[in-house]
Structure 1
Amino acid sequence: MSATATKTVRIGVIGVGRIGSMHADLLARQVPGAEVTRVVDTYAPAAAAVGARLRVPAATSIEALLAAPDVDAVAICTSTDTHADLIVAAAEAGKAIFCEKPVSLDLAEVDRALAAVERAGVPFQIGFNRRFDPAHAAVAKAVADGEIGEVQIVRITSRDPAPPPLDYVRTSGGIFLDMTIHDFDMARFVAQSEVVEVYARGSVRVDPGFGEAGDVDTAVILLEHANGAFTTIDNSRQAVYGYDQRVEVFGSAGMAASENPLAHSTIVRTAAGVRAATLPYFFLERYVPSYLGEWQAFVAAIATGTPPVVGVVDARAPLVIGLAAWQSLREGRPMRL
């Protein structure tokens, strides 16, 4: 029976590490119309633990999960180097696909995977969850509704509270492909225009280990959009005050901006001054509402037979921008896309 007929989208979660386990919990408990029916992981004890917690079977293999009649869609939450093959296999099995970003660090692999999706005609959504953050989404809506007029300048700040492990950095594709890729997607989303030129500068200001790994930990990127607008992005791997994520769009009729939420809303005012809470310190603290939003959108798209709102084009374009940013940094010049 189809997901549309049952009104419930039955989802198999592939990969139940930190991010996959979170997705499985959200789908099982907080997303109306969704049901986790199977989980699988190359580390069987992890799948067994999550399956027991959610009271669903742990599949014996990915092939078994993809063949299961009670799986309408899959959530691919494994390491990046496995995404392309899993997308191809899921598409050939006729499953709707949600995949964490990026599809691959190799553009040819991205194209191979997305071609399989298009051949199969299955729904596909890439996990750029920040589009569904209520504050960021409200900025994009203000632009779409024409409230700020013609977009002229976008400013995006993206700073992590602490650097990731260097073992992760060595395989992640570096700052532009594991961190700024979210900002590249956000720039396209709020400016409502594709990027045509990239100029990136970066340095090592936080930890020499980044340089030894061939990466940078501090970067500024200038994007030119097809509509003539510009986006500036600033990134740091270490903001000691917390997880700093802000977006501003300035236009001919005004501006719209998203500010950081505080850990709580208490404010203390005394003769010595004013004290407020710090920022959330971890991305899971900041972005749970956006993860819920992306799943609600995915489930609604499948149930209604409409294309997911963050699809194939959105899976490819930010990677192209990220690869161009690396080339720009290495060659010291703007890159035309």
Structure 2
Amino acid sequence: MLRIAVLGAGRIGKIHAANVAADRRVKLVAVADPYKEAVEALAADLGCDASLDCKSVVDREDVDAIIVGTPTDTHIDLTLQAVRLGKPVLCEKPIDLDIDRALAAVEEIERLNGRVMLAFNRRFDPDAMRLKQAIDEGEVGDVRQVIITSRDPGLAPREYLRHSGGIFRDMTIHDFDTARWLLGEDPVEVMAMGNRLIDPGLEELPDYDSVMVLLRTGSGKQCHINGSRQAVYGFDQRLEVFGSKGMVLNENHRPSSLRRWTSERTEAREPLLNFFLERHADSYRVELDHFLMALGQNGPMPATPRDGIRALRIANAAIEAANLGCAVRI
């Protein structure tokens, strides 16, 4: 039985730890986080060890694999520490906000033949996986256009935004990875615009809260991404793929699929799920499953650190394009 430690007891760490604890194929040995109250409460709830020192947990002989859900600026050190000990890692995105540091880390991981999966969890959303399957099976023919809508229900706390790396590197980077995955090619050019339509005060960071992005691949495939930090009706996430034989799309999730017709309203439905942890609860479980399958079968990781580099390059180009107001080659 694979023995796993989860680093981080925040909202992502809690999700990973709970999924590991619930999986009969593995054992949750420990959770680690410097915030004593959070980590002790999580460990007590899941019946594992608690530690305030992430690095010491990585070193433990009774830990076979690591899940990194700590702040971004700790990802490289903790991941490389585990890789040097021969331990596989599931690391939250991004590897780092700085492309040079991230690239150096990826090259070191590859030199050491490290088994590292980057947690682009939207690849593992069941609806998105079925959509990708339809593409792979030729249902839409040659992919021509991908349209991605990605809107959070509310603006994140200012302190989070201050250290997030900006909307393109923090939020839209998921969409950049999804675009690459669905298009089947890397974009070569990006056009982007960013505005502060929700909170003009974000200029001090500086950051945007509303963005639109156009991507073009070498063969001419197109992708349009629209993102917003605030959608008053809930977590709005939709994918559409248009091709030579037709189109596939997935819709938003709701607590219930029930629809009502009355004299006062037509097709009344439940509101959208209101947080990404609710919307993507399944994808985090499936993500862990694919990590474990890759390890058990000694197969390739389904999302690699190199995928993280490619998504970060697109994010950096989008920032440049938004700031300059012109198309940027990637």
Under a length normalisation based on structure 1, what TM-score does the superposition of the two structures give? 0.94
| Percentage of identical aligned residues | 41
Secondary structure of 1:264's counterpart equals coil
Q: Secondary structure at the match of 1:126?
A: strand
2:87 is equivalent to residue 100 of structure 1: no
> CA–CA distance in 2 between the matches of 1:98 and 1:267?
39
State how 1:138-153 maps to structure 2 within 5 Å.
138-153=130-145
Alignment counterpart, residue 117 of structure 1, candidates 85, 106, 109: 109
Q: 1:329, CA displacement in angstroms?
A: 0.9
Report the secondary structure of 1:172's partner residue. coil
SS at match of 1:188: helix
Q: Corresponding residue for 2:315?
A: 322
Instruction: List 4+ stretches of structure 1 deviating above 3 A.
Output: none
| One of 159, 166, 185 as aligned partner of 1:167 | 159
Query: Which of 217, 224, 231 lines up with 1:239 in the alignment?
Result: 231
SS of 1:118 mapped into structure 2: helix
Match of 1:313 in 2: 306
SS in 2 for 1:19: helix
Give the structure 2 partner of residue 336 of structure 1. 329
Structure 2 match to 1:217: 209
Question: What is the CA distance between 1:312 and its match in structure 2?
Answer: 2.3
Pairwise CA RMSD: 1.3
SS of the aligned residue for 1:58 comes to strand
Q: Number of aligned pairs?
A: 329
Distance 2:37 2:160 in 1: 23
Displacement of 1:60 in angstroms is 5.5
Query: Given that residues 55 and 78 in structure 2 are in contact (C-alpha distance below 8 angstroms), is that contact kept between their aligned partners in structure 1?
Result: no
Corresponding residue number in structure 1 for 2:31: 39
The AA in structure 2 aligned to 1:141 is Q
Match of residue 53 from structure 2: 61
Q: Take 1:188 and 1:278, find their aligned partners in 2: how far apart are those partners?
A: 30
Q: Deviations over 1:111-163 (max 9, x none)?
A: 12212221221211111101111111111111111111111111000001111
Deviations along 1:193-212, one digit per CA (max 9) or x if unpaired, are 11111111111111112223
Q: Does 1:264 align with 2:232?
A: no
How far does residue 32 in structure 1 lie from its aligned partner after superposition? 4.1
Q: Is residue 297 of structure 2 the alignment partner of residue 304 of structure 1?
A: yes
CA distance in 1, matches of 2:34, 2:105: 21
Partner amino acid for 1:69?
E
Partner of 1:305, secondary structure, is coil
Q: Bigger shift: 127-136 or 41-50?
A: 41-50
Question: Do the aligned partners of 1:166 and 1:213 also contact (CA within 8 Å) in 2?
Answer: no
**CA apart distance, 1:182:** 0.5
One-letter amino acid of the structure 1 residue matched with residue 107 of structure 2: A
SS in 2 for 1:306: coil
Q: Tell whether 2:68 aligns with 1:83.
A: no
Give deviations 1:54-74, integer Å, cap 9, x for gaps: 211124533321222221110
> TM-score with structure 2 length normalisation?
0.96
Please state if 1:286 is matched with 2:288. no
* Equivalent pair of 2:145/2:243 in contact (CA under 8 Å): yes
Structure 1 Cα separation of the partners of residues 11 and 134 of structure 2: 34
Unaligned runs of 5+ in 2: none
Q: Tell whether 2:125 aligns with 1:133.
A: yes
**SS at the partner of 2:239?**
strand
Unaligned runs of 5+ in 1: 1-7
**Aligned-partner Cα distance in 2 for 1:113–1:193:** 24
Rounded to whole Å, the distance in 2 between the matches of 1:220 and 1:96 is 36
CA distance in 2, matches of 1:304, 1:46: 35
* Contact 1:249/1:255, CA 8 A, preserved across alignment: yes
CA contact (8 A) 2:140 2:242 kept: yes
Contact 1:92–1:116 under 8 Å retained in 2:
no
**Paired residue for 2:269?**
276
Instruction: Determine the structure 1 residue equivalent to 2:240.
Output: 248
Q: Which residue in the other structure is 1:3 paired with?
A: none
Shift of 1:9: 2.2
